Amino acid sequence: MVGAEYDFDVIVIGGGAGGAAFASACASAGKSVLIVERGPRTAGDPQPRGERQTFVEKLPYDDRAIEVNESPLRLFMGGVLGGGTSVYGAAMLRPSREDFTPGRHYGTLLDRSLWEWSVGYEELEPFYDEAEELFQLASNHEDDFGPLERPKCRNNSTLLPLAPINQRLIARSREHGLRPFRLPLAIDTQRCERCSACAGFLCPNGARRSAAAVIQEIVERQRVHVMVNAEVEQLLLDCGGPRTARIEGGVRGVVIRDRRSQSSTTYRAPCYALAAGAIGSPAIALKSGLEGPQVGRNYMMHYSPLAAGVFAKPTGGDESFIKQVGFADFYFGTPDYRRKMGIVQSLPVPGPLMLRKTGMRRWPAGLVGSLRRRLLPLVGIVEDLPDPRNRVFLKESGAIALAHQFSRFDRLRGAFLAKAMRRVLRRAGAVIRLTKQFPSQEHVAHQCGTLRMGADPRSGAVDADCRMFGAPNLFVVDGSVLPTSLGVGPSLTIIANALRVARIACRDA
Ligand SMILES: Cc1cc2nc3c(=O)[nH]c(=O)nc-3n(C[C@H](O)[C@H](O)[C@H](O)COP(=O)(O)OP(=O)(O)OC[C@H]3O[C@@H](n4cnc5c(N)ncnc54)[C@H](O)[C@@H]3O)c2cc1C
Ligand code: SF4
């Protein structure tokens, strides 16, 4: 219960995947919770859905220009309540158990302290179950997920029917010995309009489950308060002022700026959760003077080669939902390169503007339209490895900056995975196969690693309970804490881990 000197039991910074899950578990444990979200509640009324509004004006995305390798960019990171989940593809996969022991696959490429995560799959397993329930995941119980852990919610009656092109992709791939599966999706079939523009866009009717919906539900039922357009500028540290290695009491307040009035207010709680995303959270930590050898370091985002098959007949992807199929056959390598990689999954067909951006600038509209009608795109998710030189840091002005390069090893695995993806498309009947090694530095969807878990402050920024070293009442519950990037999209793991950490935080409070 809130003491006289506190405004809430818990203050959660960031209303995305990790923040919403953490807040939901704390609220269920009877805590009063404040969620502080930098973005607005929605990106407009009606919600912007057009390709130009979404990918050129980037209305649903974070409105800060962030320097990436010295070029200012507006990044594709969710910037409204719900964070990344307001625009994500809702494909929520459990990783393989082996993702938690990276030393088995990368040995000498990783520091010894990273050979095993501080928390194993067994410890997280019950929270994956909870996370799947919280996000109302649907999956197909007949599918073989290969090395990936199986989803628990096996409610295939709530899966969207397979598009004909995906039926063909699955059948042809099985004939060639592959084990494609239907992507577990957090999408409500009853409400879904099966639009071609899904991942990357705001959902028109809430069919795609988001962190904003989770927050809305707990606000209605529990003692939860949400502030939107409210940016956390700084955490106030208990003693010693900024830049001390150890702060005994931890955080004693949070300075929140109302982005409309520009006024700042301090709120207090005995417990704080940092969930501003793997770029936002280390920036707040650094601004607050919470420094350490791993703070802001080891930024990862997946190396993601793209391959698109052009079919003789229309695929339907230009007018309907086709992001439905996954492959884990190459998780531990392709036939010609036996190194750990990650999954392959289908993608929506890009709109005309995005296609033009990929080199078809001068193509007549009719030709672009004809190509779109015949496309089936796939994306590979290559588990990029942590490198301390890839980092989030603050410029002298206080602005956030990123330094990031993929390693030769990441690119090499990406090239082999792209080759395997082309083969899959050829076997499915694609007459032409196009590839692009990597979308761009703007596509930071799977950002993680910048406040990673570790045994001590030398190897991590937070401990196994995701408690910040040097600030015992501050938990980090977003993608920042992942020590390695996994071979699947990170959202389910972020949510499961946030639920686990909430249990610890509530027990201690
Ligand atoms: C286009 C797209 C498609 C994706 N598809 C998938 C998919 O299919 N499967 C999958 O697993 N993952 C997918 N992802 C990734 C997934 O959405 C993210 O991994 C996940 O949302 C990250 O959760 P998080 O809690 O770390 O951060 P976020 O969900 O990004 O939440 C961070 C929140 O903090 C807020 N914030 C930032 N700074 C401050 C501040 N100073 N004060 C207050 N609030 C602040 C942000 O506005 C944001 O709302 C996709 C992402 C994108 C962008
Ligand atoms: S396809 Fe369904 S889940 Fe996706 S944006 Fe459209 S209505 Fe929402």
The residue ranges of DSSP E strands in 142-238, in sequence order, are 181-182, 224-227, 230-237
Query: From the CA of 78, how far away is ligand 1's center (Å)?
Result: 5
76 lines ligand 1 (CB under 6 A): yes
Q: Write b or e for each residue in 59-90: b if 16 or more Cβ atoms lie within 10 A of its Cβ, otherwise e.
A: bbbbebebebeeeebbbbbbbbbbbbbbbbbb
Q: What pLDDT sits at residue 46?
A: 86
Q: What is the mean pLDDT of residues 282-305?
A: 97
3-state secondary structure of 277: helix
CB 302 within 8 A of CB 345: no
Atom of ligand 1 nearest to the CA of 18: 25
Q: What is the mean pLDDT of residues 36-62?
A: 94
Average pLDDT of the chain, as a whole number? 94
Strands 432-436 and 306-310: antiparallel
Q: What pLDDT sits at residue 244?
A: 41
276 lines ligand 1 (CB under 6 A): yes
Query: From the CA of 407, how far away is ligand 2's center (Å)?
Result: 35
Q: What pLDDT sits at residue 467?
A: 97
* Residue 378 β-bridge partners: 307, 346
Among the residue ranges 207-216, 234-243, 298-307, 387-396, the one predicted with the least confidence is 234-243
Q: What pLDDT sits at residue 157?
A: 66
Indicate the pLDDT class of residue 37, thresholds 50, 70 and 90.
very high
**H or E element, residue 125:** helix 121-134
- Residue nearest (by alpha carbon) to ligand 2 atom 3: 208
13 lines ligand 1 (CB under 6 A): yes
Indicate the pLDDT class of residue 356, thresholds 50, 70 and 90.
confident
Q: Dihedrals φ, ψ of 418, to 5°? A: -60, -40
Per-residue pLDDT of 80-129, as tens digits, reads 999 999 999 999 999 999 999 999 999 889 999 999 999 999 999 999 99
3-state secondary structure of 13: strand
Token pair 């179950």: residue: 129
Query: Which of 243-248's residues contact partners 24+ apart within 8 Å by CB, and which partners?
Result: 243/289, 243/291, 244/289, 244/470, 245/292, 245/457, 245/470, 246/470, 247/470, 247/471, 248/472
Task: Return d(Cα 297, Cα 289) in angstroms, integer.
Answer: 15
Q: What pLDDT sits at residue 241?
A: 45
**H or E element, residue 309:** strand 306-310
Task: Return d(Cα 61, Cα 58) in angstroms, integer.
Answer: 5
Task: Return d(Cα 357, Cα 252) in angstroms, integer.
Answer: 47
Residue percentage of the chain with pLDDT more than 70: 96
Structure-token pair, residue 311: 């079919």
Ligand in closest contact with the CA of 282: 1
Query: From the CA of 84, how far away is ligand 1's center (Å)?
Result: 3
Ligand 2 probe mutation, 85, 88, 198, 210, most atoms within 8 A of CB: 198
Atom of ligand 1 nearest to the CA of 91: 8
Signed CA dihedral, 398, 399, 402, 403: sign only? negative
- Residue nearest (by alpha carbon) to ligand 2 atom 8: 203
Structure-token pair, residue 462: 């937070």
- Cα angle 421-422-424, degrees, rounded to a multiple of 5: 65
85 lines ligand 1 (CB under 6 A): yes
Q: What is the pTM of this model?
A: 0.97
Per-residue pLDDT of 318-331, as tens digits, reads 999 999 999 999 99
Task: Return d(Cα 125, Cα 500) in angstroms, integer.
Answer: 10
Q: Write b or e for each residue in 173-185: b if 16 or more Cβ atoms lie within 10 A of its Cβ, otherwise e.
A: beeeebebbbbbb
Indicate the pLDDT class of residue 460, thresholds 50, 70 and 90.
very high
Query: From the CA of 33, how far away is ligand 1's center (Å)?
Result: 20
Ligand in closest contact with the CA of 345: 1
Query: From the CA of 366, how far away is ligand 1's center (Å)?
Result: 36
Q: What pLDDT sits at residue 154?
A: 63
Burial of 326 (0-12, 13-18, 19+ CB in 10 A): buried
Q: Dihedrals φ, ψ of 65, to 5°? A: -85, 125
All domains of the chain in start order, with CATH: 1-43+56-137+201-301+388-399+444-509 (3.50.50.60), 155-184+305-380+405-440 (3.30.410)
Q: What is the mean pLDDT of residues 441-447?
A: 92
Atom of ligand 1 nearest to the CA of 479: 26
Query: From the CA of 195, how far away is ligand 2's center (Å)?
Result: 6
**H or E element, residue 28:** helix 17-28
Query: From the CA of 432, how far away is ligand 2's center (Å)?
Result: 28
Q: What pLDDT sits at residue 242?
A: 44
Q: What pLDDT sits at residue 3?
A: 62
194 lines ligand 2 (CB under 6 A): yes
Ligand in closest contact with the CA of 63: 1
* Tally of CB atoms within 10 A around 224: 23
Atom of ligand 2 nearest to the CA of 208: 3
Ligand 1 probe mutation, 64, 128, 491, 493, most atoms within 8 A of CB: 491
